[in-house]
Amino acid sequence: MYIMRRAAVGWGRLSVVISARDLRANDGGGGGELSFSRTRTRTRTITAPLHTSSAKMTEPFLPEHVVFNKPKVELHVHLDGAIRVQTILDVAKRRGISLPADTVEGLTQIIILQQPVTLTKFLCKFGEYMHVIAGDREAIKRIAYEFMEDKAREGVVYVEVRYSPHLLANTKVEPIPWDQKEGDLSPDEVVRLVNEGLNDGQRDFPIKARSILCCLRHMPSWSMEVVKLCKKYRDKGVVAIDLAGDESLNCEAFPEHRMAYEKAVRSGIHRTVHAGEVGPPSVVKEAVEVLKAERVGHGYRTLEDQDLYKKLLAQNMHFEICPISSRLTGACDSDFTKHPVIRFREDGANYSLNTDDPLIFNSSLHLDYYTAQKYMGFTEEEFQRLNISSAQSCFLPEEEKKALLNQLHEAYGMVQSTAF
């Protein structure tokens, strides 16, 4: 999600090893809520990969959060919401940019959300650090590479990571985001740098990644260029287009988004849309019927229109569910036992579990799975089913999708269906 911040543009919106951002979960006797506080944990030191400036890094090790220690697929995670705090500090120091804190612990406490807030307050968190990363070639390539390492650590074998190339640029973009001075890094080069970082990560870690480029509801003038970038880089890792931001800004008021999606359809570019997160079911309906979305980002409010919900169930529409995100942004009830994904599960819907913005939520995919098991009644069988559904709904070409499904079936000890 994205909002305007002064004259700048702002960002609006547990498996094999533990994530660097796992948290202590504690019901505290209250209705399925998590306590998002940090706790002392056992740590282990690992050698840092290429593209990191420090020789060592430390990570918390919380085995109680690993409830599904098998390969996973993640389809909804924002690159600029999944940056390491240490990386922000390193880049700020190199670039001579001052920050309100100069330690990982201090800056983490400034960036993260610990209790539910409004979506607007959540979006403002990106303004705490995006000016450090945007416009810097080394930083952009580094965050893409480190993202791959972090996701591989979580047991993710395939991920579709999304971002707005315009929000990381400082030239050929109007307005220039994050109060940056004009530089020489265009949205086009941002995509190239992210692709390089992701490809280096694929080389070094057991994970495959593809990317999704985001249009922003409040910046319709950028949307057509996003489609052009999707077309240009479709054979170099970009698989889809997304629309994110204020759901009250519909396509009737901003027809540029509709035109961009129409071009995406004509060009054979896959499509997903943030819809029904905090907006009404009509936003979901517009995403599916007008923008021809193949997947819905979040989609919780779809349940408020049962006719629409039943129609999307019949169409096997995929919902990109982000449990912890939906609590902390105020999109869903803070009581996880009332989360819409429980209804999706009971109805056998097609959906995935995702982190969305793990930096700001101080979370990991392990913690989302832990939350689903502890408070929503999820079982290992359901985790396997939703990951198979995620693979079937990913935007890979059919042959690569079949290979991914084979990998999951083998890891899960499942007999493959010959119907796919």
pLDDT category at 247 given cuts 50, 70, 90 is very high
pLDDT category at 60 given cuts 50, 70, 90 is very low
Q: What is the pLDDT of residue 221?
A: 97
In a domain, 418, yes or no: no
Mean pLDDT of 92-98: 97
Q: Of 1-10, 124-133, 309-318, 376-385, which range is least confident?
A: 1-10
CA distance 115 to 128: 18
Tell me the whole-structure pTM to 2 decimals. 0.86
Domain count, the chain: 1
Mean pLDDT of 73-96: 98
In a domain, 265, yes or no: yes
Please give the distance of CA 283 from its chain centroid, rounded to a whole number. Answer: 20
Taking 90 as the threshold, does the pLDDT of residue 349 lie above it? yes
What residue numbers bound the domain in which 139 lies?
A: 3-411
Q: What is the DSSP code (8-state) at residue 417?
A: P
Q: What is the pLDDT of residue 417?
A: 58
Q: What is the pLDDT of residue 65?
A: 82
The two tokens of residue 201 are 């990560």
Mean pLDDT of 351-361: 98
Taking 50 as the threshold, does the pLDDT of residue 212 lie above it? yes
The more confidently predicted of residues 376 and 34 is: 376
The helix (H) or strand (E) run that includes residue 149 is: helix 137-153
Taking 60 as the threshold, does the pLDDT of residue 384 lie above it? yes
In a domain, 339, yes or no: yes
In a domain, 420, yes or no: no
* Dihedral sign for Cα atoms in the order 417, 400, 382, 330: negative
In a domain, 290, yes or no: yes
The more confidently predicted of residues 182 and 47 is: 182
Q: Which of 14, 8, 75 is nearest to 296 (CA)?
A: 75
Mean pLDDT of 359-383: 96
- What's the Cα-to-Cα distance from 319 to each of 119, 134, 163, 342, 368, rounded to whole Å? 20, 30, 19, 13, 15
Mean pLDDT of 17-42: 35
In a domain, 295, yes or no: yes
The more confidently predicted of residues 295 and 36 is: 295
Q: What is the pLDDT of residue 385?
A: 98
Location of structure tokens 């995403």: 287
Mind telling me the catalytic residues? 277
In a domain, 30, yes or no: yes
pLDDT category at 315 given cuts 50, 70, 90 is very high
Mean pLDDT of 235-253: 94
CATH of the domain at 249: 3.20.20.140
Could you tell me which residues are beta bridge partners of residue 37? 24
Mean pLDDT of 132-140: 98
In a domain, 397, yes or no: yes
